[in-house]
């Protein structure tokens, strides 16, 4: 392919912003990938991280920061390009902080995510196991059912968009390829309406969610007073769109319906505005399929679902087992889970409100399996010990962060559990993020 100047890659990112001083110019072979999607090469035995570079490429770089154990560099030109390098279809890509892999073909992204999971489990958790190939997303574009926009006032009015790469400046995005066209259309409308807000005001956040069942849209406004929203948007709510005001952990309906409808594995859900639900519906279905296959449910099991949210995993499994118990700290989600159990006619469920690390030590039940789906920070201290104390024979761990997954798997290993299978899924195409489902057993088979 020859020399590819970085300007031809639409690279407007200032990777040397924080250092300002270029230390040296050099050529580098990229032979690895970091957990956050940066190319990794070697200079005089020192690992160097190069955003925008792909494994197998020879690149011209500007070293902008040198530390004892690593260096950081700006990509100046691609001298020998990877055959998997491609032109990013999104015009905002090289400025936006949302995506990381639009310069790579999709098959390579799956390979890199598998590699990151494997490397992280070995490096952080000292877990030596086979990692299955990353499963592709059924939809790789416009797959997100939720988007959060950041609003900031400036001298020329309000700006609504994503954070730029490596800073909190706002980049206005008029067509994000990860959300539906109808979500983007509503977002653009909200952006125009925000320009009517007076100044100065604090920053705000606009969350747009869309149902995969009836495709209805919900807009959640956070960060400004309800009366100000009403004054600004009075009579301007688009038909068929629910408008919600969120402040101090309280939600109130400005217009439309208070709940969002969803469905997984023939189980219906009604979700409150701030409750968590997987952003990629197709991959959420895939996770449920994997868990069902791994647990090989016979109908008499008792399942514990920790960090259960609205019951998106617990409720579809409830019809296949004797009993399901869920634990969730966010009280509105607990109410959703209880209501959704009634909605689906399920009487073998129980949902407990509280922190998983606080509730689990109080349990005395016998469980055949536990599902752990913690936030990005992983399991809270003490959760692994509680699972071991309850002597739960099988553990399914759903993770969106390989480093905290590896840390927790190491703790499970110390507690006598063995990793049986690791399945990455591409929940977030074009980004560095990767979902993992791990099956563990108390007894090595």
Residues labelled catalytic: 400
> 3-class SS at 337?
helix
Helix axes 106-125, 402-414, angle to 10 degrees: 40
- Are the beta carbons of 53 and 78 closer than 8 angstroms? yes
Buried b (16+ CB within 10 A) or exposed e, 352-369: bbeebbebbeeeeeebbb
Neighbours of 430 (CB within 10 A): 26
**Residues 6+ positions from 380 with CB-CB distance below 8 Å:** 355, 356, 357, 374
70-80 and 46-50 as β-strands: parallel, antiparallel, unpaired? parallel
Structural contact between residues 242 and 299, judged by C-beta atoms closer than 8 angstroms = no
Question: How far is Cα of residue 440 from the mean position of the Cα atoms in its chain?
Answer: 23
Largest Cα–Cα distance of the chain, in whole Å? Answer: 67
Compute the distance between CA of residue 430 and CA of residue 110 in angstroms, rounded to an integer: 10
DSSP of 368-406, one letter per residue? SEEEE---TT-SPTTHHHHHHHTT-SEEEEEES-HHHHH
**CA separation for the pair 328, 305 (Å, rounded):** 9
CB 77 within 8 A of CB 50: no
Note whether 372 and 396 are within 8 A (CB): yes
Instruction: Decide: helix, strand or coil at residue 114.
Output: helix
Which residues on neighbouring strands pair with residue 353, listed in sequence order? Answer: 328
């Amino acid at each position: 392919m020859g020399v590819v100047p970085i300007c031809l890659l639409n690279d407007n990112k200032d990777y040397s912003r924080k250092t300002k001083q270029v230390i040296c110019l050099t050529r580098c072979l990229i032979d690895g990938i970091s957990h956050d999607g940066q190319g990794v090469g070697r200079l005089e035995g020192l690992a160097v991280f190069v955003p925008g570079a792909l494994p197998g490429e020879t690149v011209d770089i500007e070293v902008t920061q040198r530390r004892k154990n690593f260096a950081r560099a700006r990509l100046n030109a691609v001298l020998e390009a990877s055959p998997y390098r491609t032109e990013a279809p999104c015009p905002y890509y090289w400025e936006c902080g949302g995506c990381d892999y639009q310069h790579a073909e999709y098959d390579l992204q799956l390979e890199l995510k598998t590699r990151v999971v494997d490397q992280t489990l070995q490096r952080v958790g000292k877990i030596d196991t086979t990692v299955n190939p990353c499963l592709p997303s059924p939809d790789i574009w416009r797959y997100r059912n939720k988007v959060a926009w950041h609003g900031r006032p400036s001298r020329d009015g309000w700006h609504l968009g994503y954070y730029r790469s490596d800073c909190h400046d706002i980049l206005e995005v008029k067509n994000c390829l990860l959300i539906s066209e109808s979500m983007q259309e509503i977002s653009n409308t909200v952006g125009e309406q925000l320009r009517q807000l007076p100044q100065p005001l604090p920053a705000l956040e606009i969350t747009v969610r869309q149902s995969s069942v009836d495709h209805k849209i919900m807009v959640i406004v956070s960060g400004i007073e309800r009366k100000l929203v009403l004054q600004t948007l009075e009579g301007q709510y688009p038909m068929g769109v629910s408008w919600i005001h969120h402040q101090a952990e309280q939600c109130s309906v400005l217009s439309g319906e208070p709940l969002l409808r969803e469905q997984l594995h023939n189980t219906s859900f009604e979700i409150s505005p701030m409750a968590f639900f997987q952003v990629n519906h197709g991959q959420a279905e895939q996770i449920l399929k994997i868990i069902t296959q791994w647990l090989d449910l016979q109908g008499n099991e008792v399942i514990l679902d920790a960090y259960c949210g609205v019951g998106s995993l617990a409720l579809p499994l409830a019809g296949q087992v004797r009993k399901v118990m869920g634990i969730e700290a966010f009280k509105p989600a607990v109410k959703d889970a209880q209501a959704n159990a009634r909605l689906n006619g399920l009487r073998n469920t129980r949902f407990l409100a509280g922190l998983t690390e606080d509730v689990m030590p109080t349990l005395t039940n016998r469980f055949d399996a536990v599902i752990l789906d913690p936030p990005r920070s992983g399991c809270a201290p003490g959760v692994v010990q509680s699972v071991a104390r309850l002597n739960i024979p099988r553990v399914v761990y759903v993770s969106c962060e390989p480093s905290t997954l590896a840390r927790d798997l190491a703790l499970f290993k110390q507690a006598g559990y063995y990793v049986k299978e690791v399945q990455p899924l591409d929940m977030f195409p074009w980004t560095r993020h990767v979902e993992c489902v791990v099956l563990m057993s108390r007894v090595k088979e």
